[in-house]
Amino acid sequence: MPRVLLIIAVVMLTVYCVVEVAQSRGYRVRSMPRWLWAFAVICVPVIGPISWLFLGRPVKETRQLPPTAKAPDDDEDFLRGLR
């Protein structure tokens, strides 16, 4: 029974990583090209998916939002004009 659970866990991890590699289109993948990551995840059973999780996943880019207009109660010029 533990052997079956281990095989199921490895298969689930591999499927998860294959889907994640496929969905990384448009992002900059680290270390290797995307096609090589797909090959490694599929052909190297445990090491490939674990390597993808730690070394290959795209880094989230932090986007800075443009400054937005202040609410009227936060705008000092607006509050001065009320007096």
pLDDT attached to residue 70 = 65
pTM value? Answer: 0.67
Classify residue 31: in a domain, yes or no. yes
Nearest CA among 60, 50, 43 for reference residue 16: 50
Classify residue 81: in a domain, yes or no. no
Q: How far apart are CA 6 and CA 81, in angstroms?
A: 70
DSSP string spanning 17-47?
Answer: HHHHHHTTTTS--SSS-HHHHHHHHHHSTTH
The count of structural domains within the chain is 1
Each residue's pLDDT, cut to its tens digit, for the chain (83 residues) gives 889 999 999 999 999 999 999 988 877 788 888 899 999 999 998 999 999 999 888 876 666 666 676 676 777 777 787 76
Classify residue 47: in a domain, yes or no. yes
Classify residue 75: in a domain, yes or no. no
pLDDT attached to residue 39 = 94
Residues of the domain holding 31: 2-56
Cα 57 versus chain centre, distance: 6
